[in-house]
Amino acid sequence: MAKPEIIGASRSSYTRVVRMVCEEKAIDYTLTEVLVGAPELAIHPLGKMPVLRHGDLELFESKAIATYLDRVFPGPQLIPADPRDAALTEQWVSLVNTVVDRTMIRTYLFAYIVPKTSDGAPDRAAIEAVMPAVREQLAVLDRAVAATGYLVGERFTLADINLMPILHRLGQFPEGAGTLATASHLARYYETHAARSSFVRTDPPPGPPRRAAAN
């Protein structure tokens, strides 16, 4: 079988999601490191990353790529076969991608790395405005992982893979790190899964992710 080629930036949280899928399933893959606007990203109609090439297949959107890799390659199922657990996995992936990412990455993190301030300083107004939502969503996640240490059942799934890179970025800035530390179940969840080989092996280089680089 052809080797999958993941095209994206290692600093991108969604590129990391796809790479973690490969690492969890022991898929031999190639990462083609590109910047925003690279011609290879034309696979995505909006030029976002990551995208995938696998044989004659070209695929965009990280959820679609992750699902494809999970179905095509052997290894642990990251989207469970059981319909109930599969639905719960999809539920958490959707919430993380559409709500949590928007709050914690696109709003909170961006207020630090691409602030809309005249002097380029962190946008304190935006940070203070978003922190209630950050606290609320971390509390939801804290309750979700309290019983088993996973978002779904008693196993590591695509839901956890989508959340972990976001928590990593959140913890790089003071308010996010402080709030995460007070969510005791979630903090323990993060510490536990941050030791997974798939997370360690996809650790991005120092520096912030690039704006609008992921999907």
Confidence of residue 215 (pLDDT cuts 50, 70, 90): low
Residue 6: its H or E element = strand 5-8
Reported as a single tens digit per residue, the pLDDT across 57-94 is 999 999 999 999 999 999 999 999 999 999 999 999 99
Residues of the chain with CATH 3.40.30.10: 5-72
In this structure, the number of other CB atoms found within 10 A of the CB of residue 138 comes to 22
Domain 83-200 class, CATH top level:
mainly alpha
- pLDDT tens-digit profile of 100-151? 999 999 999 999 999 999 999 999 999 999 999 999 999 999 999 999 999 9
Please, how many CA atoms are within 13 Å of residue 92, restricted to the half-sphere of its CB?
25
Distance from C-alpha of 133 to C-alpha of 88, rounded to nearest angstrom: 23
The answer to whether 67 touches 51, Cβ cutoff 8 Å, is: no
Query: Tokens 């999970």 identify what position?
Result: 70
Mean pLDDT for the chain overall: 95
Contact by Cβ (8 Å): 14, 202: no
Q: Where in the chain is the domain with CATH 1.20.1050.10?
A: 83-200
**Going by CATH, does the domain composed of 5-72 fall within 3.40.30.10?**
yes
Counting every residue written for the chain, the total comes to 215
State the pLDDT at residue 206. Answer: 81
pTM higher than 0.85 = yes
Q: What is the pLDDT of residues 90-109, one digit of tens each?
A: 999 999 999 999 999 999 99
Q: What residue has token string 């031999």?
A: 28
